[in-house]
Structures are given as structure tokens and as C-alpha cells.
């Protein structure tokens, strides 16, 4: 099997991973600095996704967990029979509840060949170290700067807080970049789980790449669907199942049906007691 095809298929997973999950002090590029909005709390979750690219199936698992008091890790593992991608960020919260990454790593293994990238955030000395295999690059670090994973998590937090200015300072591969998104619509999206209330967003870009995401507004703005296209090539990733804050993600109407069934059972018990 050609290595080019393997590299291309797993590169698609990387593209689809650019916005997952789980994400600068928003004053740096983000939220309205004139209005103070309380930051939403972090909810642990696990989400299982599937994708198709060039006819190849890809499975991915995204999760957020507290690994020690006040220390969090958000990770994405995507794989198929050709290889595996492991992307994760370890971070904490500042006194004003802003995300502060400490380490980010990206490991891609394809047919026995492994590529590793690591970013270490030294907030005390305001420096970042970027390691790519055996190479090292250093740069200045400013308050509010995030990595690829934590910026996606901050995006979800901003949507939950009702913010409209969705712009982030992101350090990717040792370089500072600006990622900006806009809200397009509110939609009820049909998913493998069933219908879910979602917010549809798009990435603002000057090139020909189009990036659209749907996030579940009833479930902590979990990413439900991603579509990215460029030069006529399209990649799509969709949610299969998820648990958010120890609750299984259910489709619209399920909780009401359960309530109705419970009420009906209560009425039947009451009627039986009157006989």
C-alpha cells in the first residue's frame, strides 16, 4: 500500500482535529473587554467519532479529564489500520479561571514511522519551547496564548458564556497564529444519536479552505460534526456517542419521553391504589 495514501489519510485526521473537543485570556483577542462574564466550569467528557476520507474509515476518541487537583488533560486519539495520531494538552486554570496550557504534544505514527511534536509552556519565565523530533525552537510567551487543543476548548467555553467575539491567539508548531470563528446559525442536526440542538460556526479564513462545525448547545457545546474542504477535497467527522459530566448524550425529546413515562407510571400506581 503506498505510503503517500497512508500519509494523506492520517493528515485528514489532523485537519479534522483542528477544532476538536474540547482551547488566551480572551481579552487578548477574544471576548468583549468591557464586560466581565463568568467563565463556565469545566465538565469532563468522552466523545466517540467516526470519519470517512478517500474511502478510508477513521475512528477518533476525544476526552477531558482532571488528572490531579486543578490539573486537566484533554486528548484526541484518532486511528485506522494505517496508523495513529495522539494529540493532547495538559493545562490548569488561572486565578480568574482562564485556561493556561503547560504541555502540548502531537504524535503521529504511520506504518512504523513516528513524528513527535512537543510544546512546553514556561509561564514563570514567559518562554515556550517547541520540540520537533530532535529540533528545538524557543519563543516569547504572552498571557492568554493557547495551544491547538486549549483554543478549541476555550471556543466552547465562550459559546457557553454567550460571547460573540470568537478569536484566539494560538501557538502552533512554535509559531503564533490567530484563529477566528463566526456563528452562522442555530440548527437541529440529525446525528447518529438522534436530533440535537446545535450552534453552527465557520472558521474565518483568507484562503480557499472552508471549515464548518456544529456544537451541541444542550451538551456543553460538544463538537457534533466537522466538515472541512479545500480544492474540491472534503473531510467529514461525526459524533457517534458521548458522555458529558457523567451523563449520556441523548437526542431531543428523550428526557421528556422519560418524564412522561415516569408520570404515567405514577398515575397508574395511584389509580391502582384507589381500586
Do residues 103 and 121 touch, judged by C-beta distance below 8 A? yes
Q: Is 56 exposed, middle or buried (0-12, 13-18, 19+ CB in 10 A)?
A: middle
CA distances 51 to 60, 109, 170, 186, Å, are: 8, 18, 26, 23
Per-residue model confidence (pLDDT) at position 269: 55
Domain ranges of the chain: 3-264
pLDDT band at 273 (very low <50, low <70, confident <90, very high): low
pTM assigned to the model: 0.79
What mean pLDDT comes out for the span 43-72? 90
What confidence tens digit (pLDDT) does each residue in 240-254 have? 999 999 999 999 986
Q: In whole angstroms, give the CA distance from residue 133 to residue 114.
A: 9
- 76 beta partners: 62, 87
pLDDT band at 24 (very low <50, low <70, confident <90, very high): very low
The yes-or-no verdict on residue 268 having pLDDT over 70 is: no
Q: In whole angstroms, give the CA distance from residue 159 to residue 167.
A: 12
Amino acid at each position: 500500500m503506498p505510503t503517500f495514501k497512508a500519509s494523506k489519510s492520517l493528515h485528514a485526521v489532523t485537519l479534522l482535529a483542528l477544532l476538536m473537543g474540547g482551547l488566551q485570556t480572551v481579552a487578548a483577542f477574544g471576548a468583549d473587554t468591557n464586560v466581565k462574564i463568568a467563565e463556565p466550569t469545566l465538565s469532563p467528557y468522552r466523545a466517540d467519532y467516526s470519519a470517512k476520507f478517500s474511502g478510508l474509515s477513521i475512528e477518533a476518541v476525544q476526552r477531558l479529564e482532571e488528572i490531579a487537583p486543578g490539573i486537566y488533560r484533554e486528548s484526541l486519539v484518532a486511528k485506522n489500520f494505517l496508523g495513529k495520531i495522539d494529540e493532547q494538552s495538559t493545562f490548569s486554570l488561572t486565578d480568574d479561571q482562564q485556561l493556561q496550557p503547560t504541555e502540548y504534544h502531537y504524535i503521529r505514527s504511520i506504518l512504523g514511522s513516528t513524528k513527535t511534536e512537543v510544546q512546553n509552556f514556561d509561564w514563570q519565565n514567559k518562554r515556550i519551547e517547541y520540540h520537533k523530533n530532535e529540533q528545538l525552537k524557543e519563543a516569547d510567551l504572552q498571557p492568554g496564548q493557547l495551544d491547538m487543543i486549549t483554543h478549541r476548548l476555550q471556543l466552547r467555553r465562550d459559546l457557553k458564556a454567550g460571547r460573540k467575539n470568537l478569536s484566539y491567539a494560538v501557538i502552533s508548531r512554535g509559531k503564533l497564529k490567530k484563529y477566528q470563528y463566526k456563528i452562522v446559525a442555530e440548527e437541529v442536526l440529525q446525528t447518529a444519536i438522534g436530533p440535537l440542538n446545535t450552534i453552527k460556526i465557520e472558521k474565518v479564513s483568507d484562503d480557499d479552505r472552508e471549515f464548518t462545525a456544529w456544537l451541541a448547545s444542550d451538551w456543553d457545546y460538544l463538537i457534533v460534526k466537522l466538515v472541512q474542504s479545500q480544492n474540491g477535497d472534503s473531510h467529514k467527522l461525526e459524533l457517534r456517542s458521548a458522555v458529558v459530566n457523567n451523563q449520556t448524550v441523548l437526542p431531543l425529546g428523550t428526557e421528556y419521553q422519560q418524564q412522561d413515562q415516569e408520570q404515567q407510571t405514577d398515575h397508574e400506581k395511584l389509580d391502582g391504589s384507589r381500586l
